[in-house]
Structure 1
Amino acid sequence: MSYKCSRCKRDVQIDEYGGVRCPYCGHRVLLKERSRDVKEVDAN
């Protein structure tokens, strides 16, 4: 999965067994990247 570190702002790839920690700065708060796709919903 693709995440971004909230401290150093680098892209981080983590696996589910390696733990949740930025490999660059060691920070433990990672933000999940959102897709840029626009979703349209019919509002009837």
Structure 2
Amino acid sequence: MAYRCTRCKKTVEVDYEYSGIRCPYCGHRILMKERPTTVKRMKAV
């Protein structure tokens, strides 16, 4: 799963078992899940 660090803005692949939730570049612990650039439209019922 791809995440983006809120401090250094780099894309990070997180391995939960190995390193936990931490940016390997700057050590920051707040990561945001990257969202796809396409818009998903659903028909209302």
Specify the TM-score bucket, using the shorter chain as the normaliser: 0.7 to 0.9
Give runs of aligned pairs for residues 1-44 of structure 1, distance below 5 A.
1-17=1-17, 18-43=19-44
Measured in 2, the distance between the counterparts of 1:2 and 1:28 equals: 14
Measured in 2, the distance between the counterparts of 1:41 and 1:2 equals: 25
The alignment covers a number of residue pairs equal to: 44
TM-score norm. by structure 2 comes to: 0.82
Question: How many angstroms does 1:41 deviate by?
Answer: 2.1
Question: Per the alignment, in what secondary structure is the counterpart of residue 16 of structure 2?
Answer: coil
Instruction: Return 5+ residue gaps in structure 1 as ranges.
Output: none
Question: Per the alignment, in what secondary structure is the counterpart of residue 29 of structure 2?
Answer: coil
Superposition RMSD in Å = 1.1
Q: Answer 1 or 2: which has greater helix percent.
A: 2
TM-score norm. by structure 1 comes to: 0.84
